[in-house]
Amino acid sequence: MSTGLNDNELISKVLSGDQQAYAGLVNRYQNYVFTLALRFTKNREDAEEVSQDIFVKAYRALSDFRGASKFSTWLYTIVNTTCITFLRKKRLEVHSLDNEKVFEVADSLDSGMRANMVEQKSRVSMVNTAIKMLSTDDAEVITLFYKAEQTLEEIAQILGIEANTAKVRLHRARTRLKEKMELHFAQEVKDLN
Amino acid sequence: MNTQHSPEERLWDYIDGISSPEEKTVIEQLLESDEEWRAKYGELLEVQQILHSSELEAPSMRFTKNVMEEITKLHIAPATKTYINKRIIWGIGIFFITLIVGFIVYGFAQIDWTVQSDSKIPVDFSKVDYSKIFSNQLVNVFMMINVILGLFLLDRYLANKRKQFREEA
């Protein structure tokens, strides 16, 4: 089995012709890639299609991976570019960092989610719902930092920005998430403490 | 001391472990002495814990199988660097350098070196017939292409330098 091997060992196997070894990488990163894709697409069907496309692209370009960065960082760069292309194709608005419309969209999303809120008492559901209310940019940077365990330098590389800009983005995203939680889940946060 | 940032930003840096050792000491002192800072720190720690408790979403059970079915039809593309042959790049470079040198030599060949002048410079540039060199439209276009290619090369060179600098930093 390939599961005990690290990323670079799996990549070497794939590059030397063992196509099945790629399943090890897919299994390892599918949840990360799918979660990030979901932050962009906002629906599971599209996220699944985009994630599949990302893994296919990564496979085709695998010989370009030189090991200068972590495989995950390289893969998330593909996630970022593929998702942006997907959104452009779908002609959805990619919200900029300072776009106040983000909050309007979040509020409209919130009305749809309100129906499920009664049942979503757990901390996990609450934070996941709050992240969904954020803009794509904010949700992506939070997911990369907290779930995909990327450093600020790696996030900067993935997003094609300066490390300091990544830091500012993360800071703003956390502030907005905090605001969302205080606004929509004040009681739940209180209950959890 | 990192005074240009807000207390919240400074606390986040502290929580993320990216504060400088000096800043870390300052914040630790503030947390000991200042009630307001302590309260803010507690609040941010709570957000931090909540964020860590978020969960990853999982795709369908068939996901890996679907990807593997898709890639069986594909081949890994050769690495980008391997299909850009360095010899071709050098060949193109030498071609253009030869052209530029050729133009310069041609230009100098048009100069009348026997002309006497008071100037210490052996060449009387005022008498160089530039119209002979640059009157041809084709030559001008060619020179323009060379200049543009030169600028492209310079851009690539500077971009690589910047990348190297960033990696070293």
CATH number at residue A157: 1.10.10.10
Tell me, yes or no, whether A121 and A56 share the same domain.
no
**In the listed set A89, A118, A149, which residue is the last one of a domain according to the structure?**
A89
User: Does A62 contact chain B (CB < 8 Å)?
Assistant: yes
Contact across the interface for A174 and B12, Cβ inside 8 Å: yes
pLDDT score, position A191: 63
pLDDT score, position A188: 66
Determine the distance from the C-alpha atom of residue B166 to the mean position of all C-alpha atoms in its chain, rounded to a whole number: 9
Token pair, residue B128, equals: 């160089």
- CATH number, domain at A49? 1.10.1740.10
Tell me, yes or no, whether A62 and A136 share the same domain.
no
Interface of A with B in 93-132 (CB under 8 A): 123-124, 126-128, 131
Tell me, yes or no, whether A67 and A115 share the same domain.
no
Distance CA B77, CA A61 (A): 6
Is the model's pLDDT at B72 over the cut of 70? yes
Residue A175 or residue B79, greater confidence:
A175
C-alpha separations of A45 from A37, A94, A116, A184, B34 in Å: 10, 19, 20, 27, 50
Tell me, yes or no, whether A105 and A187 share the same domain.
yes
Facing B70 at nearest CB: one of A38, A56, A123: A56
Is A130 exposed, middle or buried (CB count within 10 Å of its CB: 0-12, 13-18, 19+)?
buried
In a domain, residue A96? The reply is: no
Give the length of chain A. Answer: 193
B14, B27 Cβ separation under 8 angstroms: yes
User: Rounded mean pLDDT of chain B?
Assistant: 80
Distance CA A138, CA A154 (A): 16
In a domain, residue A95? The reply is: no
Is the model's pLDDT at A116 over the cut of 50? no
In a domain, residue A1? The reply is: no
Facing A123 at nearest CB: one of B50, B78, B80: B50
Tell me, yes or no, whether A180 and A153 share the same domain.
yes
**In the listed set A57, A89, A121, which residue is the last one of a domain according to the structure?**
A89
**In the listed set A22, A56, A89, which residue is the last one of a domain according to the structure?**
A89
pLDDT score, position B50: 83
pLDDT score, position A35: 94
Confidence at A98, pLDDT banded by 50, 70, 90: very low
Tell me, yes or no, whether A111 and A186 share the same domain.
yes
Q: Span A120-148, mean pLDDT?
A: 83
pLDDT score, position B116: 62
A20, A2 Cβ separation under 8 angstroms: yes
pLDDT score, position A119: 44
Distance CA A129, CA A113 (A): 8
Count Cα neighbours of B31 within 13 Å in the Cβ-side half-sphere.
Answer: 16
Residue A39 or residue A101, greater confidence:
A39
Contact across the interface for B63 and A124, Cβ inside 8 Å: no
In a domain, residue A134? The reply is: yes
Is the model's pLDDT at B4 over the cut of 70? no
In a domain, residue A2? The reply is: no
Distance CA A78, CA A57 (A): 8
A–B: how many Cβ contacts below 8 A?
Answer: 114
Facing A30 at nearest CB: one of B18, B54, B64: B64
pLDDT score, position A115: 46
Confidence at B135, pLDDT banded by 50, 70, 90: low
The number of beta carbons lying within 10 Å of the beta carbon of residue A192 is: 15
Please tell me whether the overall predicted TM-score, pTM, comes out greater than 0.90 for this model: no
Distance CA B143, CA B125 (A): 21
pLDDT score, position A120: 43
By mean pLDDT, which of B10-24, B29-43, B100-114 is the weakest? B100-114
| ipTM of the complex as predicted | 0.74
Tell me, yes or no, whether A73 and A131 share the same domain.
no
Tell me, yes or no, whether A113 and A183 share the same domain.
yes
In a domain, residue A121? The reply is: yes
Q: Span A184-191, mean pLDDT?
A: 70
Domain count within chain A: 2
Residue of A nearest to B62 (CA): A48
Count Cα neighbours of B44 within 13 Å in the Cβ-side half-sphere.
Answer: 20
Q: Span A73-83, mean pLDDT?
A: 93
Tell me, yes or no, whether A118 and A159 share the same domain.
yes
Residue B142 or residue A130, greater confidence:
A130
Contact across the interface for B72 and A31, Cβ inside 8 Å: no
Distance CA A24, CA B156 (A): 37
Per-residue pLDDT tens digits for A15-61? 998 999 999 999 999 999 999 999 999 889 999 999 999 999 999 99
Tell me, yes or no, whether A63 and A35 share the same domain.
yes
In a domain, residue A114? The reply is: yes
Å between B57 CA and nearest CA of chain A: 5
Is the model's pLDDT at A129 over the cut of 90? no
Contact across the interface for A34 and B80, Cβ inside 8 Å: no
Q: Span B58-70, mean pLDDT?
A: 92
Token pair, residue B72, equals: 């069986």
Residue of B nearest to A190 (CA): B46
Residue of B nearest to A25 (CA): B64
Tell me, yes or no, whether A157 and A74 share the same domain.
no
Distance CA B39, CA A128 (A): 25
Confidence at A97, pLDDT banded by 50, 70, 90: very low
Which residue type sits at A145?
F
Tell me, yes or no, whether A78 and A119 share the same domain.
no
Q: Span A137-152, mean pLDDT?
A: 91
Q: Span B38-50, mean pLDDT?
A: 89
User: Does B47 contact chain A (CB < 8 Å)?
Assistant: yes
In a domain, residue A16? The reply is: yes
User: Does A92 contact chain B (CB < 8 Å)?
Assistant: no
Rg (CA), chain B: 33
* Region of residue A149 (phi > 0: left; psi between -120 and 50: alpha; otherwise: beta): left
Domain that holds residue A24: 7-89
Confidence at A3, pLDDT banded by 50, 70, 90: low
Report which DSSP code applies to B84: S
Contact across the interface for B53 and A127, Cβ inside 8 Å: yes
User: Does B74 contact chain A (CB < 8 Å)?
Assistant: yes
The candidate with the shortest Cα–Cα distance to A42, out of A128, A169, A149, A141, is A128
